[in-house]
Amino acid sequence: MRRVRRRGARFTARSRALTALTALAVAGTLTAGAAPPGDRAPAKPPEKTPVATGSGGAVSSVDPDASAAGIEVLKQGGNAVDAAVATAAALGVTEPYSAGIGGGGFLVSYDAASGKVRTLDGRETAPAGADENLFREDGEPVPFDEAVTSGLSTGTPGTPATWQRALASWGSKPLREVLRPAERIADEGFTVDETFRKQTAENADRFRDFPASAELFLPGGKPPRTGTTLRNPDLARTYRELGRDGVGAMYRGGIGEDVVRTVRKPPVDPDAERKVRPGDLTRADLRGYEALEREPTRSEYRGLDIYGMAPSSSGGTSVAEGLNILENSDVGELGERDYLHRYIEASRLAFADRGRWVGDPAQEDVPTEGLLSQRFADSRACLVDDDKALTSPVAPGDPNDPQPCEPGDAPAPTTYEGRHTTHLTTSDKWGNIVAYTLTIEQTGGSGITVPGRGFLLNNELTDFSFEPAVEGVHDPNLPGPSKRPRSSISPTLVLDDGRPLLALGSPGGATIITTVLQTLTNHLDRGMPLVDAIAAPRASQRNAEETEAEPALYDSPLRKRLEAMGHRFKETEEIGAATGIQLLPDGRWLAAAERERRGGGSAMVVQPDD
């Protein structure tokens, strides 16, 4: 691999980014309005726009009602943390198959007053009675599809505890206030779009087997039509209870009792033929749950500081390793084929190491510092051939004792992770920023709605390895008592000399890591405006035989040029659904979201530019 001098790299990355920003600002951008005045919900959702610039703070999410909820809180004097919780709560209404109080997530924030980056690990935990055989019966792994739709796959929810800890530590408003926009949307309803209708149809067979899910999501026995209004009064009441009684209602009160009852005895339709295994979640598991404040991961790329989420998520270490592998090649000057080749190989190697080393640090010896080190990345980067693709699965390296170009031992395959998480980014007039990714695992989670409560339970425990990935090699992601399964969630902040440059994240299971990595390099190295970097066709290599590619890349001549180097591809409809926020040089905010994926995202600012 050709090596380039690092001297001047800071200027190169920063100048490319600022050039892109300036061009976008001068050219003018789309803007979005804030939430409507008063207490009444809009008859129709605000118009979706993928990019907005202005002042006073910003919100970007996949959904216009949710983004408007965050903007409403900012307009009422709330800060970025308040807005993040408000947006997340609204997504629990309008994106219930991706997020909600039955799940968990990871939050990264920048505090303008102190200049510090802070993180919360709100990952779900296994029951205290779980062991490494959680998903094994008669010596064999439980079939994955059966594990997904079960109480067995449900971990202790972490989202309510994350909201409470974030607000108590860094917010400015009480939970009851930031939940009000979401309560209103749940009470009065939201407009069903094509993405929601399609996701409901994909889950219809599962939902029919659980009366509470069928009643809520299949009105009249069918998926709701696009353009109709869907209400969730049960969730509105649940939010009001949380606002009134605090999150103790989940961890020590009535909401939690209903969750435990539902997990331990899933309410299945008597006529259903589906085998639905119960789980072992207890009230003690709920009482013992804690959202953890962790030190963020930190690495340097082209003179910029990259902050992310430390284990139990693999996002921060894997994004950092991918960037570190690319550090010594000037990918901004490469042609499209050579850039994609380098990016794909960096992803492949990072995933090889992730699978071997990352798990819950409370129960595993995770070499986080080694995984973040440039020395380790350099020992892996020298495996990359500029003219030929590596063959997956690639064996991991050893971050505890990096040896240049060492081929490694047995490779660990990448475990499956559900892709329909959701991500939001917020900022405020004081300069605070939040990147928050939350999830209930795959689309529709476990498929089981808690009766009378209006939210779905997660199936996050399927992120554990069902059996050791490699025989005879320790797997750090096997289940264990109160253990957090490994995640790929990658909320990321980029700072330049202590000043925030951008915040970024995406849903997408294990493709989250590659989405964030590709978007960062498209923007920082290749000079794309953030909204264009988000929209660019994606590829995702996760140490598999084939690299997933979206149609725009799969159907292009570029694929054949990469295949001539030994790359193998398979087509996938879409990868990720990113959102980001950027602080412009003049102090204004730029919010960016998807143009088309998941029907397009929703970027808004408090005071849009004219």
pLDDT tens for residues 82-129?
999 999 999 999 999 999 999 999 999 999 999 999 999 999 999 999
Give the separation between CA 268 and CA 247, rounded to whole angstroms: 28
For residue 97, how many C-alpha atoms fall within 13 Å in the half-sphere facing its CB? 24
Residue 154 lies in a domain: yes
Torsion, CA 553, CA 314, CA 202, CA 572, rounded to 10: 10
Torsion, CA 324, CA 325, CA 330, CA 334, rounded to 10: -140
Distance of CA 76 to the CA centre of its chain: 27
Give the separation between CA 290 and CA 114, rounded to whole angstroms: 25
pLDDT at position 339 is 97
Q: In sequence order, which residues have a C-beta less than 8 Å from that of residue 306 and are 6 or more positions away?
A: 297, 298, 299, 300, 319, 320, 323, 492, 493, 494, 520
Give the separation between CA 331 and CA 341, rounded to whole angstroms: 10
pLDDT category, 414, cuts 50, 70, 90? low
Nearest to 447 by CA among 221, 189, 154: 154
Asked whether residue 312 carries a pLDDT value surpassing 70, the answer given is yes
Asked whether residue 9 carries a pLDDT value surpassing 60, the answer given is no
User: For the residues 227-256, what does the mean pLDDT come to?
Assistant: 98
User: For the residues 398-420, what does the mean pLDDT come to?
Assistant: 76
Nearest to 572 by CA among 609, 606, 532, 539: 539
pLDDT at position 409 is 72
Here the CATH number for the domain that contains residue 140 is 3.60.20.40
Q: In sequence order, which residues have a C-beta less than 8 Å from that of residue 260 and are 6 or more positions away?
A: 281, 282, 283, 286
Residue 101 lies in a domain: yes
Asked whether residue 35 carries a pLDDT value surpassing 70, the answer given is no
pLDDT category, 36, cuts 50, 70, 90? very low
Residue 421 lies in a domain: yes
pLDDT category, 472, cuts 50, 70, 90? confident
- Which stretches does DSSP call E strand in 429-568? 433-439, 492-496, 499-505, 539-540, 547-549
pLDDT category, 45, cuts 50, 70, 90? low
Q: Is 421 one of the annotated active-site residues of the chain?
A: yes
User: For the residues 317-322, what does the mean pLDDT come to?
Assistant: 98
User: For the residues 275-303, what does the mean pLDDT come to?
Assistant: 98
If you count them, how many residues does the chain have?
610
For residue 318, how many C-alpha atoms fall within 13 Å in the half-sphere facing its CB? 40
Task: Identify the helix (H) or strand (E) that includes residue 118.
Answer: strand 116-122
User: For the residues 433-444, what does the mean pLDDT come to?
Assistant: 96
pLDDT category, 473, cuts 50, 70, 90? confident
Q: In sequence order, which residues have a C-beta less than 8 Å from that of residue 73 and are 6 or more positions away?
A: 82, 83, 86, 173, 177, 178, 181
pLDDT at position 412 is 67
Give the separation between CA 482 and CA 290, rounded to whole angstroms: 11
Asked whether residue 6 carries a pLDDT value surpassing 50, the answer given is no
pLDDT at position 406 is 79
pLDDT at position 494 is 98
Fill in the DSSP letter of residue 313: B
pLDDT category, 411, cuts 50, 70, 90? confident
Mean pLDDT of the chain: 92
Residue 239 lies in a domain: yes
Residue 1 lies in a domain: no
Give the separation between CA 488 and CA 311, rounded to whole angstroms: 9
Torsion, CA 442, CA 595, CA 581, CA 70, rounded to 10: -70
The radius of gyration of the chain's CA atoms, rounded to the nearest angstrom, is 23
pLDDT at position 419 is 56
Q: Which letter, b or e, does each residue of 192-230 get, where b requires 16 or more Cβ atoms within 10 Å of its Cβ?
A: bbebbbebbeebbebbbbbbbbbebbbeeeebbeeeeeb
pLDDT at position 113 is 97
pLDDT at position 117 is 98
Amino acid found at 580? G
Point out the least confidently predicted range of 233-237, 294-298, 596-600. 596-600
pLDDT at position 469 is 79
Give the separation between CA 587 and CA 576, rounded to whole angstroms: 29
Asked whether residue 534 carries a pLDDT value surpassing 50, the answer given is yes
Q: What stretches of 373-470 show up as alpha helix (H) in DSSP? A: 374-381
Asked whether residue 390 carries a pLDDT value surpassing 80, the answer given is yes
User: For the residues 547-567, what does the mean pLDDT come to?
Assistant: 97
Amino acid found at 419? R
- Which stretches does DSSP call E strand in 17-62? 51-61
pLDDT at position 58 is 98
- Out of 5-19, 31-45, 137-151, the most confident range is 137-151
pLDDT at position 418 is 55
pLDDT category, 25, cuts 50, 70, 90? very low
Give the separation between CA 594 and CA 580, rounded to whole angstroms: 9
pLDDT at position 18 is 45
Asked whether residue 413 carries a pLDDT value surpassing 70, the answer given is no
- The sign one gets for the Cα dihedral 70, 256, 146, 456 is negative
Nearest to 106 by CA among 450, 444, 424, 352: 424
User: For the residues 580-588, what does the mean pLDDT come to?
Assistant: 97
pTM higher than 0.85: yes
Q: In sequence order, which residues have a C-beta less than 8 Å from that of residue 121 and are 6 or more positions away?
A: 106, 158, 291, 292, 293, 294, 309, 310, 312, 313, 484
Residue 363 lies in a domain: no
CB contact at 8 A, 458 and 102: yes
Residue 133 lies in a domain: yes
pLDDT at position 416 is 61
pLDDT at position 417 is 58
User: For the residues 356-370, what does the mean pLDDT come to?
Assistant: 97
Point out the least confidently predicted range of 17-26, 145-154, 377-386, 515-524. 17-26
pLDDT category, 24, cuts 50, 70, 90? very low
pLDDT category, 44, cuts 50, 70, 90? low
Residue 496 lies in a domain: yes
- Strand, coil or helix: 253: coil
Domain of residue 202 covers: 29-36+58-294+415-608
User: For the residues 547-551, what does the mean pLDDT come to?
Assistant: 98
pLDDT category, 14, cuts 50, 70, 90? very low
Give the separation between CA 264 and CA 254, rounded to whole angstroms: 15
Q: Which residue has the higher pLDDT, 41 or 559?
A: 559
User: For the residues 154-169, what does the mean pLDDT come to?
Assistant: 98
pLDDT category, 22, cuts 50, 70, 90? very low
Distance of CA 149 to the CA centre of its chain: 21
Instruction: Give the percent of the chain with pLDDT over 90.
Output: 87
For residue 482, how many C-alpha atoms fall within 13 Å in the half-sphere facing its CB? 14
What is the count of structural domains for the chain? 1
> Scanning the structure block, which residue is given the tokens 């500029």?
386
Asked whether residue 31 carries a pLDDT value surpassing 50, the answer given is no
What are the pLDDT digits (tens) for 67-86? 999 999 999 999 999 999 99
pLDDT at position 415 is 65
Asked whether residue 4 carries a pLDDT value surpassing 80, the answer given is no
Catalytic residue, from 53, 414, 415, 421: name it.
Answer: 421
User: For the residues 527-546, what does the mean pLDDT come to?
Assistant: 97
Nearest to 52 by CA among 597, 584, 598, 596: 584
> Scanning the structure block, which residue is given the tokens 């399609």?
198
Distance of CA 562 to the CA centre of its chain: 29
